[in-house]
């Protein structure tokens, strides 16, 4: 039973929750953090890529202490047909710097470290504790939470809802809607273990260097989705995700889709002989700007995946989560240090800080992309990848056909499949959504 009242209760020990807890605890606020897992990270799943800049803004010296897997020096984009991939590989020696720009991480390790940093600053962390209900006063203001532990409610001036995409508290209190099937992707992932030197040979890297492959095309069977292959120190994360609405419409098994991806002739050799040690599934918020709920109210703020803060186009999520948690923490600290109450009006400072950051600016830029990906899924993920693969084959295969004829074949295959107007329309729609 916890009698004392806290400045803030943080729900969740993921990226957003840990950033909020650290930011507030390191500024002297009394913080209680609740985590339903056995340890921070035990319920969290990510590809996962960590973007250094956003961590540095919270813990500048994290590179010396945080459990990092590999420093990413190469990014590969693959457009996939059933038997081929057409790729763009970007390797820049400028990325090969000591202070890397991005790293692969394993969430159960990283989250545990991050939460320990907050504890070192004075935050109290309660694991194996599921928050089951928000407590509100007679005016509707959030004043605390009830947990599944024995004892009464725990009170605080403000509750930071960093409960993840599938969090129940905010939805039950009608502070945010339950995610819609067209606004979330279901991703499945396996951890394939191999000796470090085998990974380094197969991906042409050395030391702590790492490679990321993002793949789209026929692997998602015409659904809006992507596959990924990330190198860790001694393992490779292989996964694939598609919109839940597409999965439902197509009655497709994600586990089988992942098996097919692993058997693709471009993927199989990379993971051959590996030992799989875990199979995970998780939802990813993909609704973009238009799916963001109200971010604050009387006595609460919403951060991270719970607020749909995820950039589906750039595959960025943890950095948006972390930044939103930090900004929520900074806003609450400012309010508390003025001795002001955590009213909706005062907490609107959090939204203002977030609006001025890359988080909302980036999501606004791509606000029309989710709709486009949803309505044009079969063209973007099935038709074009097949056309591109055919075009590449025409270009590369030497078989005595005059080049002029090969080019004609390529152009007519595009025109026949999508029509001249269809091609133009697709280009315009895509350019508009990207703008």
Partner 1 sequence: MGIEAQFQKVEEKLYQNRYLVDAGQPHIKIAPHEKPSKNLLAMTHLCPAGCYTEAESGQVELAADGCLECGTCRVLCEESGEITWNYPRGGYGILFKFG
Cα–Cα dist 163/35, whole Å: 9
Give 109 or 357: the residue with its C-beta nearer to partner 1. 109
Give 247 or 333: the residue with its C-beta nearer to partner 1. 247
Q: Which of 88, 92, 67 is nearest to 208 (CA)?
A: 67
List helix spans (H) across 251-357: 254-263, 268-271, 318-337, 344-355
Residue 239 — φ and ψ, nearest 5°?
Answer: -150, 175
Q: Does 184 bind partner 1 (CB under 8 A)?
A: yes
Cα–Cα dist 373/397, whole Å: 32
Fill in the DSSP letter of residue 177: P
Binders of partner 1 among 75-114, rule CB under 8 A?
A: 106-109, 111
Give 85 or 189: the residue with its C-beta nearer to partner 1. 189
- How many residues belong to the site for partner 1 (CB under 8 A)? 53
Q: Does 127 bind partner 1 (CB under 8 A)?
A: yes
Q: How far is the CB of 178 from partner 1 (least distance, A)?
A: 7
Binders of partner 1 among 240-299, rule CB under 8 A?
A: 244, 247-248, 251-256, 259, 263, 276-283
Q: How far is the CB of 220 from partner 1 (least distance, A)?
A: 14
Give 287 or 385: the residue with its C-beta nearer to partner 1. 287
> Of 75, 101, 119, 130, which one interacts with partner 1 (CB under 8 A)?
130
Q: Does 395 bind partner 1 (CB under 8 A)?
A: no
59 strand-pairing partners: none
Cα–Cα dist 232/193, whole Å: 9
Give 121 or 233: the residue with its C-beta nearer to partner 1. 233
Q: Does 161 bind partner 1 (CB under 8 A)?
A: no
Give 257 or 292: the residue with its C-beta nearer to partner 1. 257
Whether the CA torsion 268, 270, 272, 274 is positive or negative: it is negative
Q: Does 418 bind partner 1 (CB under 8 A)?
A: no
> Of 18, 26, 129, 376, which one interacts with partner 1 (CB under 8 A)?
129
> Of 26, 104, 147, 308, which one interacts with partner 1 (CB under 8 A)?
147
> Of 178, 206, 294, 361, which one interacts with partner 1 (CB under 8 A)?
178
Give 128 or 340: the residue with its C-beta nearer to partner 1. 128
Q: Does 41 bind partner 1 (CB under 8 A)?
A: yes
Give 240 or 433: the residue with its C-beta nearer to partner 1. 240
How many C-beta neighbours within 10 Å does residue 435 have?
8
Give 210 or 329: the residue with its C-beta nearer to partner 1. 210
> Of 148, 340, 355, 407, which one interacts with partner 1 (CB under 8 A)?
148
> Of 128, 197, 356, 405, which one interacts with partner 1 (CB under 8 A)?
128
Q: Does 323 bind partner 1 (CB under 8 A)?
A: no
Q: Does 165 bind partner 1 (CB under 8 A)?
A: yes
Q: Does 304 bind partner 1 (CB under 8 A)?
A: no
Whether the CA torsion 238, 367, 179, 49 is positive or negative: it is positive
> Of 46, 118, 266, 308, which one interacts with partner 1 (CB under 8 A)?
46
Residue carrying the six token digits 């069977």: 221
Give the H or E element holding residue 235: strand 235-243
Give 119 or 166: the residue with its C-beta nearer to partner 1. 166
Region of 86 please: left (phi>0), alpha (psi -120 to 50) or beta.
beta
Cα–Cα dist 191/202, whole Å: 17
51 strand-pairing partners: 102
Question: 227-262 burial, b for 16+ CB within 10 Å, e for fewer?
Answer: bbbbbbeebbbbbbbbbbbbbeeeebebeebbeebb
Cα–Cα dist 340/348, whole Å: 13
Give 42 or 334: the residue with its C-beta nearer to partner 1. 42
Cα–Cα dist 305/328, whole Å: 14
Q: Does 186 bind partner 1 (CB under 8 A)?
A: yes
- Sequence-distant (6+) residues with CB within 8 A of 94 are none
Binders of partner 1 among 191-210, rule CB under 8 A?
A: 191
Q: How far is the CB of 275 from partner 1 (least distance, A)?
A: 9
3-state DSSP assignment of residue 427: helix
3-state DSSP assignment of residue 222: coil
Q: Which residues bind partner 1 (CB under 8 A)?
A: 36-38, 41-46, 106-109, 111, 127-130, 147-149, 165-166, 168, 178-181, 184, 186, 188, 190-191, 235, 244, 247-248, 251-256, 259, 263, 276-283
């Amino acid at each position: 039973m916890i009698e004392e009242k806290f400045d803030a209760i943080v729900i969740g020990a993921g990226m957003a929750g840990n950033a909020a807890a650290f930011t507030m605890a390191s500024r002297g606020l009394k913080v209680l953090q609740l985590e339903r897992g056995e340890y921070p990270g035990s319920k969290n799943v990510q590809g996962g890529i960590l973007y250094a800049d956003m961590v540095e803004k919270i813990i500048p010296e994290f590179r010396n202490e945080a459990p990092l897997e590999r420093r990413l020096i190469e990014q590969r984009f693959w457009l996939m047909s059933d038997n081929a991939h057409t790729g763009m590989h970007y390797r820049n020696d400028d990325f090969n710097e000591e202070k890397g720009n991005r790293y692969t991480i394993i969430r159960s390790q990283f989250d545990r470290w991050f939460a320990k940093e907050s504890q070192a600053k004075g935050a109290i962390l309660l694991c194996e504790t599921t928050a089951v209900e928000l407590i509100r006063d007679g005016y509707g203001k959030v004043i605390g939470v009830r947990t599944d532990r024995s004892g009464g409610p725990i009170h605080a001036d403000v509750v930071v809802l960093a409960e993840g995409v599938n969090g129940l508290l905010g939805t039950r209190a009608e502070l945010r809607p339950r995610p819609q099937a067209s606004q979330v992707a279901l991703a499945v992932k396996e951890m394939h273990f191999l000796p470090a030197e085998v990974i380094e040979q197969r991906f042409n890297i050395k030391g702590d260097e790492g490679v990321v492959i993002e793949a789209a095309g026929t692997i998602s069977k015409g659904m809006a989705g992507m596959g990924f292959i990330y190198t860790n120190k001694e393992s490779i994360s292989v996964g694939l995700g598609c919109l839940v609405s597409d999965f439902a419409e197509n009655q497709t098994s994600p586990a089988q889709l992942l098996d097919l991806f692993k058997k693709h002739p471009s993927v199989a050799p990379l993971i051959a002989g590996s030992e799989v040690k875990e199979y995970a599934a998780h939802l990813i918020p993909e609704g973009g700007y238009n799916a963001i709920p109200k971010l604050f109210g009387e006595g609460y703020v919403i951060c991270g995946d719970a607020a749909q803060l995820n950039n589906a186009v750039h595959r960025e999520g943890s950095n948006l989560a972390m930044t939103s948690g930090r900004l929520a923490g900074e806003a609450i600290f400012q309010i508390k240090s003025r001795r002001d109450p955590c009213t909706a009006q005062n907490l609107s400072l959090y939204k203002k800080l977030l609006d001025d950051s890359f988080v909302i600016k980036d999501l606004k830029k791509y606000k029309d992309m989710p709709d486009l990906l949803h309505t044009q899924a079969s063209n973007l993920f099935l038709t074009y990848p097949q056309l591109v693969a055919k075009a590449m084959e025409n270009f590369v295969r030497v078989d005595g056909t005059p080049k002029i004829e090969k080019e004609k074949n390529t152009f007519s295959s595009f025109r026949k499949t999508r029509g001249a107007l269809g091609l133009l329309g697709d280009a315009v729609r895509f350019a508009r959504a990207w703008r």
